[in-house]
Structure 1
Amino acid sequence: MSDRSSAGGPSAILWDMDGTLLDSEKLWDVSLEALAEHLGGTLSTLGREAMVGSNMAHSLTILFDDLGIPCTPDDLDTAREWLRARTAELFDAGLEWRPGAREALDLVEASGLPMALVTNTERYLTERALGTLGQDRFKAIICGDEVQLGKPHPEPYQKAANELGLRPGDCLAIEDSPTGTAAAEAAGATVLVIPCAVPVPDGPRRIQRESLEGLTLDDLRAIWMPS
């Protein structure tokens, strides 16, 4: 395992996707609300907020609980296929960048710092988003259906750092949700938090920023905390 980090800054940047790089949480709003209607109910605001940053399996469990509808494993599988298809349609219709995200991604890429994409979204949908993000930018891509435990468990960030030959503590993660921030922090990474759909509590290895707009390499060096 390499130990290339120094007090000068992180050795890699680990990016979340939905709500951090792409303004896709609003598309999940549409597909999740449509699924709730399809099931005969209405998704509550609290129910939707609880899903932000979660993986599909957990989100569906929250949805059925929120609607007060009992479900079997077959019901969950059917709902998953319905949600996957509807969300794919929305992704294919066009994905917008979060403010400053494309410029921040370009900045890090040009610097030569390795980058990984670490998302709770499954590979099927992530591949659609990579057409916008640029697959070749990332030296590792970790999707929600490629780990045993998704965010908020640290496994996705641990796996991403390992694939880069680093420790999570060598890396700076960039996140928008409480779920993803908790995962990165538990793994040992410093976290740059750019809240999107819901507020993110403060924490000892969390630096809050309103937007990625105007982000510089000096900012990234100043944010990262050696561990």
Structure 2
Amino acid sequence: MTLAAVLFDMDGTLVNSEPLWEETLHELAAEYGGTLSDAARFSMVGTDMVTSMTILHADLGQPWRDIAASGLRITELTERLFARGLPWRPGARELLAECRAAGLPLALVTSTERRLVEVALETLGRDTFAVVVCGDEVGGHTKPHPAPYLRAAELLGVDVTRCVAIEDSPAGVRSAVAAGAAVLGVPGDVVLAPELGATLAPSLTGVDLAFLRRLLAEDLAVQDGEPAVLGGRPRPPALG
């Protein structure tokens, strides 16, 4: 039952970057002569760029727009804001520091593209994570597909079922649960339903290694004797 690694989402989990994304999405919508709805914005949280731009175009009634061009424009706008530094989510910096001090392997698993992640790492610390898996590095299998978390565990050389993943979005929770990790959900802008299969906490304040080890132990204990569904989460599916 040893905790092998902790796998962190980035936007909304470690850093409060969602308001910056919202600012640039509204700016792009205005450039296109429209207004982004709240429902469309919330449905983008935790998704990759292609999905987000598809939602944006549909919401504006402009499905004919080029997804790649819109994605590039959003990246340009967001990069400027990221470069100013990113605000930490409560308790995130302290938890990272404790994990690092204990020598526990850490991975960053994000739907954000590498170009913006490189900027965010100026805030997060380039030596904080042994592995960084970005949204444009998983062959199109982004969250909620399990591939990002399975890839992170593979690169770390650990069993994903001995990892705790920390997420803030439904798409991210579904990805980590499907991969087979124990999941801590820390909701921010979007509500996380208990039936998604994550243990929920109001924030990372007060979350420490002892808490994560207990979460994993309880998750594994529930699995014993269950042939198909483990503690509300499915066994890792085969990728194809």
TM-score bin (small chain): over 0.9
2:180 to 188, 192, 197: 188
Q: Which digits, 9 at most, give the CA deviation of each residue in 1:10-57, with x for residues without a partner? A: 210000000000000010000111111111100000000000000111
Task: Give the total of aligned pairs.
Answer: 218
Q: Which shifted more, 130-139 or 199-208?
A: 199-208
2:153 to 133, 136, 161: 161
Q: Which shifted more, 186-195 or 75-84?
A: 75-84
Q: TM-score, normalised by structure 2?
A: 0.88
Letter in 2 for 1:43: L
* Secondary structure at 2:207 match in 1: coil
Moved over 3 A (4+): none
**Pair 1:114 & 2:102 matched:** no
Give % identity: 48
By how many angstroms is 1:205 displaced? 4.1
Q: Which digits, 9 at most, give the CA deviation of each residue in 1:64-88, with x for residues without a partner? A: 011111325xx22221111110000
CA contact (8 A) 2:173 2:196 kept: no
- Structure 1 CA distance, aligned partners of 2:63 and 2:164? 41
Residue of structure 2 in register with 1:218 after alignment: 210
* Secondary structure at 2:127 match in 1: helix
2:24 to 21, 31, 41: 31
1:22 to 15, 19, 28: 15
Residue of structure 2 in register with 1:71 after alignment: 64
Gaps spanning 5+ residues in structure 1: where? Answer: 1-5
RCO comparison, higher one (Cα < 8 Å, 6+):
1
**Pair 1:135 & 2:121 matched:** no
Q: TM-score, normalised by structure 1?
A: 0.93
Residue of structure 2 in register with 1:3 after alignment: none
- Structure 2 CA distance, aligned partners of 1:70 and 1:19? 28
- Structure 2 CA distance, aligned partners of 1:84 and 1:114? 29
- Structure 2 CA distance, aligned partners of 1:66 and 1:106? 41
Residue of structure 1 in register with 2:165 after alignment: 173
Q: What is the root-mean-square deviation in Å for CA atoms of aligned residues?
A: 1.1
